[in-house]
Amino acid sequence: MAFEHYRNLCAGSLTPCPGMNVIYGRNAQGKTNLLEAVWLFTGGRSFRGARDGELVAFGQEKAALHLQFYSEEREQEAELTIQNGRRSASLNGVPKRSPAELVGKFRAVLFSPEHLSLIKSGPALRRNFIDAALCQVKPAYAPLLSRYHHTLVQRNALLKDIPRHAELLDTLEIWDDRLARYGDAVARERAAYIQKIEAPARELYAGISENKEQFGIQYQKSAENLREALAAARRDDLQSGHTTVGPHRDDLEVTVDGVSARAYGSQGQQRSLVLALKLAEADVLEQEGGEAPVILLDDVMSELDAGRQHYLLNRLDGRQVFLTCCEPGAVKRLEEGALFEVRRGELY
C-alpha cells in the first residue's frame, strides 16, 4: 500500500504482514487516516462521512493511493486518486467509471468509534449497516437497492403531484407494483443476511462479553406484504406526500436477554454488541465465498479489558488485521505480527 498527499500522510508506503498489523502512535498523528485510506479501496466512501475533497492534504491538489491485494485467486492492484473533489479508481491498470466498481473486489470489515452509536441511534444507521455489508457479500444487491430507492423517489414525486393532477392517480398503481417488487426483494435479502449473521454474532458476543447473556437479532419489516401495505397506506401517503411503508422504514432489533438493547443496553453492552456484529460480518463474508476480508479495527483496544482483548486477538488469529492504538504495549502476542509507528503523517 502506498499513499501520497492523503490527509496528513505525505508520501510513504506500508508493507503489511498477513496477520496482525498494529499501527500505533500518539493522538492526531494519522493512524485513522491510514485505515481510512485502506477502507476506500472497498469502493465505499470515507467512514467518517468526509467529502472527497477533504481527503486531499491541505495545500495539495491531488491525493493518490495504491493498493496491492490478493483476490479471485490472483494478485491485483488498484489505484485511487482524489482531485477536484472527486475520487477516481482503476483496477489492474484499467480505469473504472466509478470507484463503486471496486465493490466486492477488495473486501474489508471496519470497526471504528463512529459505529458505537449503531445500537442507540436512529434506524437509518442500522439499515445502512446491513446494506453496506450486503453490497460486499453480494454485489448484485447494490443495483437492486438503488432501483428501489429510485422507484421510491418517483413514487414520492407522484404522491405530491396527484392532489393537483387527479388524472395521475391511475399511474400510482404501476409505481406501487414496481416498488413492492423491488422492496420485497430488498427486505428478503436483508432478512436472510440477518439470519446468517445471527449465529456468529451470538458466539462472538458471548466471547467478548464473557458472560451468559442471550443475544438476539431480528430484521423488523415495516410491512409483511408490501403491495397490500402500500394500498392500505395510500390515503396517508397522499396526505403526507411520501411513502410510509417499505424497506426504507424497516429496522434491526438487537436484544440482550430478550429486551431491546436500544432501549435498555448499557454502554459496555453496546460496545460488545457492535464489535460482535462487525466481526460476524467478516465471518459471513468469508462463508459466502471469496477471499477472507481484511479487518480494520480503529481504536478498539482502549475500551476493552485484558480478558476481552485476549479473546479478540485469539478470535482474529489467521486473519489479516490492521489495528490502531496509542499504546502498543496493550497488544500482546506481537511476535507474530508487524508493528508500525505513525508520527506526524510518516510511518516508521
Q: Which residue is it, cell 408490501?
A: 226
Residue 112, binding choice from Mg ion, ligand ATP, none, Cβ under 5 to 8 Å by partner class: none
Contact window for ligand ATP (CB under 6 A) among 52-60, 102-110, 232-240, 259-267: 52-60
Q: What is the rounded (10 degree) CA torsion for 157, 163, 166, 172?
A: 40
Pick 18 or 53: Cβ nearer ligand ATP: 53
Pick 55 or 312: Cβ nearer ligand ATP: 55
**Terminal-residue alpha carbon distance, the chain:** 14
Instruction: Tell me: does residue 23 bind ligand ATP (CB under 6 A).
Output: no
Pick 31 or 190: Cβ nearer ligand ATP: 31
Instruction: Tell me: does residue 222 bind ligand ATP (CB under 6 A).
Output: no
Residues 242 to 301: which contact ligand ATP by CB under 6 A? Answer: 299
**Sheet with 294-298, side-by-side order of all strands:** 108-111, 294-298, 321-325, 20-24, 338-343, 346-347
Tell me which residues touch Mg ion (CB under 5 A). Answer: 32
318 marked as part of a ligand binding site? no
Instruction: Tell me: does residue 57 bind ligand ATP (CB under 6 A).
Output: yes
**Sheet with 62-71, side-by-side order of all strands:** 9-13, 2-6, 62-71, 74-83, 86-91, 94-95
Question: Would strands 94-95 and 108-111 be described as parallel, antiparallel, or unpaired?
Answer: unpaired
31 marked as part of a ligand binding site? yes
C-alpha cell, 345: 503523517
Instruction: Tell me: does residue 32 bind ligand ATP (CB under 6 A).
Output: yes
For 122-133, b/e burial (b = at least 16 CB within 10 A) is: ebeebbebbbbb
Instruction: Tell me: does residue 8 bind ligand ATP (CB under 6 A).
Output: yes
E strand intervals along the chain: 2-6, 9-13, 20-24, 62-71, 74-83, 86-91, 94-95, 108-111, 215-220, 251-256, 259-260, 294-298, 321-325, 338-343, 346-347
Give me the least distance between CB of 139 and Mg ion, in Å please: 30
Alpha-helical (H) ranges within 210-253 are 226-232, 234-240
What residue type is assigned to position 132 of the chain?
A
Asked if 14 contacts 1 with a C-beta cutoff of 8 angstroms, the reply is: yes
Pick 25 or 293: Cβ nearer ligand ATP: 25
Give me the least distance between CB of 325 and ligand ATP, in Å please: 8
Q: Is 51 exposed, middle or buried (0-12, 13-18, 19+ CB in 10 A)?
A: exposed
329 marked as part of a ligand binding site? no
Instruction: Tell me: does residue 21 bind ligand ATP (CB under 6 A).
Output: no
Instruction: Tell me: does residue 327 bind ligand ATP (CB under 6 A).
Output: no
Residue 209, binding choice from Mg ion, ligand ATP, none, Cβ under 5 to 8 Å by partner class: none
Q: Which of 20, 21, 24, 25 binds ligand ATP (CB under 6 A)?
A: 25
214 marked as part of a ligand binding site? no
Instruction: Tell me: does residue 93 bind ligand ATP (CB under 6 A).
Output: no
Instruction: Tell me: does residue 309 bind ligand ATP (CB under 6 A).
Output: no
Residue 7, binding choice from ligand ATP, Mg ion, none, Cβ under 5 to 8 Å by partner class: ligand ATP
| Annotated binding-site residue numbers for ATP | 25-32
Annotated binding-site members = 25-32
Q: Binding residues for ligand ATP, per CB under 6 A?
A: 7-8, 25, 27-33, 54, 56-58, 299, 326, 342
